[in-house]
Amino acid sequence: MMADDAASEEQDLSRLLIEERVFQPPADFEAAAVVQDPSVYERAEADPEAFWAEMAEQLDWYEKWDEVLRWDPPHAEWFVGGKLNACYNCVDRHVHNGRRNQAAIIWEGEPGERRTLTYWDLYQETNKLANALKTLGVEKGDRVAIYMPMIPELPIAMLACARIGAIHSVVFGGFSAEALRDRIVDAEAKVLITADGGYRRGQIIPLKHDADYALRQTPSIEHVIIVERGEFPLRIVQGRDHWYHRLLQEAEPYCEPEPMDAEDILYTLYTSGTTGQPKGIVHTTGGYMTGVLATLRWIFDLKQDDVYWCTADIGWVTGHSYIVYGPLAAGATMLMYEGAPNWPEWDRFWQIVEDHGVTVFYTAPTAIRAFMKWGTQYPQAHDLSSLRLLGTVGEPINPEAWMWYYEHIGGERCPIVDTWWQTETGMILLTTLPGIDYMRPSYAGRPFPGVSAEVLNDAGQPATSGYLAITRPWPAMLRTIYNEPERYVEQYWTKWDKATYFTSDGAKREDDGYFGLLGRVDDVLNVSGHRIGTMEVESALVDHKAVAEAAVVGIADEVKGQVIAAFVTVKEGNEPTAQLSQELQKHVVDKIGAIARPQSVAFAGDLPKTRSGKIMRRLLRDIAEGKVLGDITTLADASVVDELKRRYEEQE
Ligand code: ATP
Ligand code: MG
């Protein structure tokens, strides 16, 4: 017994930082919450399939399913035999059920234009675009690539595809022509929907112009549809390129939605590429829609009079699930913003919250840390009292950033839901239900009702810290990797047995059942035989008052195996000095112990991030070890890496 314990102890990740602070939702929030009965957890656990079937009833189906789940590990089918249409569920049913004139999308362009689309507007545009796609020869099962800025035509394009059963592949508008080309080629897309351009930080992003480079090497593309966003320079190829507004003028007003099998593909989407080559994830219709609608309603506590704002770009899964399919299936009113948070001023987000009376706000730790860095004067200048619930997703949130969000944005009155999930999971899997669960900064929380998760060690035994595993299929789970069925099995279902999903994330679990994320398994540090997740060391650094953001990596050391190299950005008004660097090393030792002492602390203007805002530690490792940089196609800003390299070498 003892020997066993010691062995598993060695394999486990160390758990260094235990956050004891606990926050309760305010009484008035609890009293009005969508979910108020804590027994939902036990009820779902007693019969998960019955629970998910009940959640699926919130959708409109043409034909009901014969079987809730068919599980042939690692292949799942949900709601087998059921038929539905995702677009019908997001648009038509609201038009028929009293929400026809309700705002679906309140949009603000970066230069300041505003548009409001009701569900009726969405219905009309979606129907016409669906007919236009058909006229161009798009059929059920065909792939359509979408490369657009954050304008209402982007969700409309996705819904139009869903309406006719075409599979969309959205490529984030900030990606290069090469990334677009690769994704079009992988999907063999027949049509590309794009725009003449968009705005970001006052600059024009000439999307169609960039797309033309990709289109030289995409033989599958027969037609291109271009939304006219502004007056951007572009070239039209006769016969291939079509203006969106012209097509819509000529299109029939109604298009019958295609009844889709629950397991028909709704879309493919690539992961962010934080750890390497992005993977083309496949999501199907019935289970996905069930999962996103249930989680949206329960976790974001969405009600009729809410103004919901998720700041993600629709080019990422957060946008697919929690801007498009979840909120629209729920008949919500959402805000959509095209541009940067600091344009034209550093308070643009707070101006938007104040102007539109945003009530539910969902963003990423990378944004929160940027707000912290800029200073509290920007949110303070605005009336944020409409906010009642905050959310975060994308990376572990350091306790300091959590507290800042809670105090300065939420006014200590808004619960925060820290939502853990992945492109692969399709829906949120770990979080708190804001009306019944307390919050613990930096702990995502518990598995959503009906979801089963564990922290396992290498041997597959439960551990207090180790790897996060999902131990039961869930409706919105990926079905495969596009064109790579073996990689699907290999990547996710071979770490233990083929019914246990490997997330690639390290996690710890506390006595109250709360899960805390420790960072990527690929990034784990190994110091003198101790395996340490990046999250806790970084949180100790961010805990220092001068620090805005931190990333740590392990670099090879002859004696210790690895030593820790830290990269830090400071808050406005702080100087990166040698003294501060020593102070930070000491701060980490004081917070969590000598084992985690960074051997070096390098200051940076910014850290290398993916285009979705996640820190790319693998590039920092390459820099610290003086290696040639790995795959940088998903890197947001290459100049950040050049600067870091220079500074790091100077410091050496
Ligand atoms: P790739 O798989 O290509 O490396 P990626 O993992 O960054 O890219 P996404 O699917 O966008 O692609 O990100 C999912 C990951 O983001 C999770 O595996 C986890 O590491 C991190 N993450 C998301 N939400 C949270 C959260 N609330 N807390 C901690 N980590 C989170
Ligand atoms: Mg991933």
Domain with 555 in it: what CATH number? 3.30.300.30
pLDDT higher than 70, residue 7:
no
**pLDDT (mean) for 435-445:** 97
**pLDDT (mean) for 302-307:** 96
Is the separation of the CB atoms in 161 and 168 below 8 Å?
yes
Best probe residue, ligand 1, of 423, 467, 617 (max atoms within 8 Å of C-beta): 423
Rounded Cα–Cα distance for residues 369 and 55 (Å): 35
What does the mean pLDDT of the chain come to?
95
**pLDDT (mean) for 538-560:** 95
How do strand 241-243 and strand 260-261 relate by DSSP bridges? unpaired
pLDDT higher than 70, residue 503:
yes
| Whether the CB of 396 sits within 6 Å of ligand 1 | yes
pLDDT higher than 60, residue 235:
yes
Predicted confidence band at 231 (pLDDT cuts at 50, 70, 90)?
confident
Rounded Cα–Cα distance for residues 371 and 168 (Å): 34
- Taking the centre of ligand 1 as the mean of its atom positions, its distance from the CA of residue 396, in whole angstroms, is 9
Ligand with smallest separation from the Cα of 278? 1
Whether 406 maps to a domain, the answer reads: no
Whether 629 maps to a domain, the answer reads: yes
Predicted confidence band at 5 (pLDDT cuts at 50, 70, 90)?
very low
Whether 85 maps to a domain, the answer reads: no
pLDDT for the residue numbered 13:
84
Q: Which domain holds residue 591?
A: 524-651
- Shortest-distance atom of ligand 1 to CA 420: 27
pLDDT for the residue numbered 3:
37
pLDDT for the residue numbered 6:
39
Predicted confidence band at 652 (pLDDT cuts at 50, 70, 90)?
low
- Dmax (CA) of the chain: 76
Best probe residue, ligand 1, of 398, 614, 619 (max atoms within 8 Å of C-beta): 614
pLDDT for the residue numbered 9:
46
Cβ within 8 Å of residue 584, ≥6 positions away: 541, 544, 547, 566, 568, 598, 601
Ligand with smallest separation from the Cα of 273? 1
pLDDT for the residue numbered 517:
97
Compute the residue count for the chain: 652
| Whether the CB of 520 sits within 6 Å of ligand 1 | yes
Ligand with smallest separation from the Cα of 279? 1
Predicted confidence band at 15 (pLDDT cuts at 50, 70, 90)?
confident
In tens, the pLDDT along 173-222 reads: 999 999 999 999 999 999 999 999 999 999 999 999 999 999 999 999 99
Ligand with smallest separation from the Cα of 634? 1
The span from the first CA to the last CA of the chain, in angstroms, equals: 47
Structure tokens at 286: 């019935």
In tens, the pLDDT along 104-152 reads: 999 999 999 999 999 999 999 999 999 999 999 999 999 999 999 999 9
Rounded Cα–Cα distance for residues 282 and 265 (Å): 7
Whether 379 maps to a domain, the answer reads: no
Predicted confidence band at 365 (pLDDT cuts at 50, 70, 90)?
very high
Predicted confidence band at 2 (pLDDT cuts at 50, 70, 90)?
very low
Best probe residue, ligand 1, of 272, 427, 524 (max atoms within 8 Å of C-beta): 272
Whether 610 maps to a domain, the answer reads: yes
| Whether the CB of 127 sits within 6 Å of ligand 1 | no
Whether 181 maps to a domain, the answer reads: no
What domain count does the chain have? 1
pLDDT for the residue numbered 11:
57
| Whether the CB of 441 sits within 6 Å of ligand 1 | no
How do strand 465-470 and strand 446-447 relate by DSSP bridges? unpaired
Q: How many CB atoms lie within 10 A of CB 517?
A: 22
How do strand 143-147 and strand 191-195 relate by DSSP bridges? parallel
**pLDDT (mean) for 353-380:** 97
Q: Which of 303, 360, 316, 367 is nearest to 335 (CA)?
A: 360
| Whether the CB of 124 sits within 6 Å of ligand 1 | no
The 8-class DSSP code of residue 146 comes to: E
Structure tokens at 553: 């990596």
Q: Which residues of 228-260 are buried (b: 16+ CB within 10 A; e: fewer)?
A: bbeebebeeeeeebbebeebbeebeeebebbeb
Nearest residue by C-alpha to atom 28 in ligand 1: 396
How do strand 67-72 and strand 75-80 relate by DSSP bridges? antiparallel
Least confident of 19-23, 333-337, 367-371: 19-23
Whether 374 maps to a domain, the answer reads: no
Q: Which amino acid is at 518?
A: L
| Whether the CB of 271 sits within 6 Å of ligand 1 | yes
Prior bond of 26 cis (ω within 30°): no
Inter-axis angle of helices 153-164 and 119-135, nearest 10 = 60
pLDDT for the residue numbered 52:
98
In tens, the pLDDT along 92-106 reads: 999 999 999 999 999
Predicted confidence band at 471 (pLDDT cuts at 50, 70, 90)?
very high
Rounded Cα–Cα distance for residues 69 and 47 (Å): 12
| Whether the CB of 320 sits within 6 Å of ligand 1 | no
DSSP state letters, 469-504: EE-S--TT---EETT-HHHHHHHHSSSS-TTSEEEE
| Whether the CB of 420 sits within 6 Å of ligand 1 | yes
pLDDT higher than 80, residue 37:
yes
Whether 597 maps to a domain, the answer reads: yes
| Whether the CB of 363 sits within 6 Å of ligand 1 | no
The count of C-alpha atoms lying within 13 angstroms of the C-alpha of 445, restricted to the half-sphere facing its C-beta, is 30
| Whether the CB of 534 sits within 6 Å of ligand 1 | no
Cβ within 8 Å of residue 380, ≥6 positions away: 408
